[in-house]
């Protein structure tokens, strides 16, 4: 339901998605592409949260912070919502996201350090969409989705990904143009690893012989490390020319298909450095450890690390990497779904520091057990300031004191921001 009416409104602030927010006679409007301080004409769209999404019809009075977006796809592609915002205003907006979250938790906002910036073109993984309409003779669209839409925007380039991934965009479109079945949608995850590119196609059907052959030939032609296929039956290798390997703090780890990684190698180094500097003692629990972003550098520095995650292949890959690196005896592991089965307080009493890096939903159940344990120190990593605020509030209510928060801008031009926080009982 939407009225379709237009209103001239003044944008008061940016929301978490990078939308300009304004008040209208119909309630709050979330106007994509509008900036704080601007007077705009906006057309009311569908219901969203406590207000309505709205289309930017006209900028009546532009902001002094408005700049020309560097990407030719800005405005049609659903990513990079804030490219039209000046760099200084963008940095201040992201810093304020974390400061506001700390305030909401009832904590001291002066403990938030200045945000650490990363390069715009540092993303080493991107998930593209491929869609072929049912119309006879229709070609495949390959790129990202339009904002809040299933429509796929054909990309010619992308400014946030590593050059090797950007160079692969037109080649993938050409290869997929004839092998995506009419009406089908594929997700194509491309990851830059140490020894090339790793590609995983996700679909609701099997690859079939024709697609398998074309993808295998593509891997050979473009020297792709691996192409795999994920459907309801699991992961199937299409072509494995080299086992994908990632260098994590000087340790080579064989990466399972589709496993979670930090979005950029630069940000991974920054985050692991912050975590290593914040831990106390040598008995460390690393919860939601993944492939070892923090466990491996901690163990390499001499700590004894107990690493836990529900992603079995990732945990096993990390353990093999530690063994090959010569410090496997310092890393013990458990495969465990920490959302459904958090580490209990009794399990945590042996550790001097607990590190946790949960999904965007946060770690409420795990934090409750940390609070009940005698562990003296916690280092929290978060990709969502809102859920971090809830976890931080629970830790402080349970007897911890917040010492520091460092924001890291890993997801450039987006509404996402990473952070590392240290707590002491």
Using DSSP, state whether 93 is helix, strand or coil: helix
* Structure-token pair, residue 76: 């049609």
DSSP 282-349: SEEEEES-TTTTTHHHHHHTT-EEEEEES-HHHHHHHHHHHHHTT-GGGEEEEE--TTTSPPPHHHHT
Q: Is the dihedral of CA 273, 99, 358, 356 positive or negative?
A: positive
Q: Residue 220 in contact with residue 239, Cβ under 8 Å?
A: yes
C-alpha to C-alpha distances, 288 to 303, 331, 334, 336, 358, nearest whole angstrom: 17, 14, 10, 9, 6
C-alpha to C-alpha distances, 136 to 22, 207, 309, 354, 405, nearest whole angstrom: 44, 21, 47, 57, 55
Any catalytic annotation for residue 383? yes
Q: Residue 86 in contact with residue 69, Cβ under 8 Å?
A: no
**Interatomic CA distance for residues 206 and 198, integer angstroms:** 19
Q: Is the dihedral of CA 166, 266, 326, 284 positive or negative?
A: negative
* Structure-token pair, residue 262: 């930090």
Residues in CB range of 69: below 8 A, 6 or more apart:
75, 80, 83, 84
355-368 per-residue burial string, b: 16 or more CB within 10 A, e: under 16? bbbbeeebbeebbe
Alpha-carbon torsion, ordered 354, 358, 364, 365, to 10 deg:
-70
* Structure-token pair, residue 56: 């930017």
Q: How many CA atoms lie within 13 A of 344 on its CB side?
A: 2
Report, as residue numbers or ranges, the catalytic residues: 383
């Amino acid at each position: 339901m939407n009225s379709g009416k237009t209103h001239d409104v003044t944008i008061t602030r940016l929301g978490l998605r990078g939308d300009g927010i304004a008040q209208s006679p119909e309630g709050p409007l979330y106007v994509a592409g509008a900036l704080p301080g601007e007077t705009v004409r906006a057309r009311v769209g569908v219901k969203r949260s406590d207000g309505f999404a709205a289309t930017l019809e006209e900028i009546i009075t532009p902001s002094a912070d408005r700049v020309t977006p560097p990407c030719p796809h800005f405005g049609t592609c659903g990513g990079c919502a804030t490219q039209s915002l000046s760099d200084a205003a963008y940095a201040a907006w992201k810093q304020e996201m974390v400061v506001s979250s700390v305030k909401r938790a009832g904590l001291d906002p002066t403990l938030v350090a200045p945000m650490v910036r990363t390069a715009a073109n540092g993303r080493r993984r991107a998930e593209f969409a491929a869609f072929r309409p049912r119309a006879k003779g229709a070609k495949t669209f390959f790129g990202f989705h339009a904002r809040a839409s299933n429509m796929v925007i054909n990309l010619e380039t992308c400014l946030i990904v590593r050059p090797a991934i950007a160079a692969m965009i037109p080649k993938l479109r050409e290869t997929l143009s004839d092998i995506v079945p009419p009406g089908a949608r594929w997700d194509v995850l491309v990851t830059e690893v140490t020894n090339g590119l790793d590609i995983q196609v996700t679909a609701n059907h099997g690859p079939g012989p024709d697609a398998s052959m074309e993808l295998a030939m593509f891997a050979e032609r473009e020297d792709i490390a691996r192409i795999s296929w994920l459907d309801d039956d699991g992961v199937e290798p299409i072509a494995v020319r080299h086992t994908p390997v990632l260098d994590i703090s000087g340790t080579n780890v064989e990466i399972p298909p589709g496993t979670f990684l930090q979005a950029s190698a630069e940000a991974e180094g920054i985050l692991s450095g912050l975590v290593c500097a914040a831990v106390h003692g040598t008995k460390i629990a690393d919860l939601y450890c993944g492939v070892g972003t923090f466990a491996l550098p901690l163990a390499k520095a001499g700590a004894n690390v107990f690493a836990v995650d529900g992603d079995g292949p990732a945990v096993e890959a990390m353990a093999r990497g530690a063994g090959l690196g010569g410090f496997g005896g310092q890393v013990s592991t458990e495969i465990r779904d920490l959302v459904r089965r958090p580490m209990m307080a009794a399990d945590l009493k042996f550790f001097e520091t607990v590190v946790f890096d949960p999904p965007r939903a946060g770690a409420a159940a795990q934090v409750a057990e940390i609070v009940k344990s005698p562990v003296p120190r916690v280092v929290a990593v978060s990709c969502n300031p809102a859920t971090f605020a809830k976890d931080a509030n629970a830790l402080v209510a349970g007897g911890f004191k917040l010492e520091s928060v460092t924001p890291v801008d890993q997801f450039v031009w987006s509404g996402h921001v990473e952070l590392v926080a240290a707590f002491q009982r």
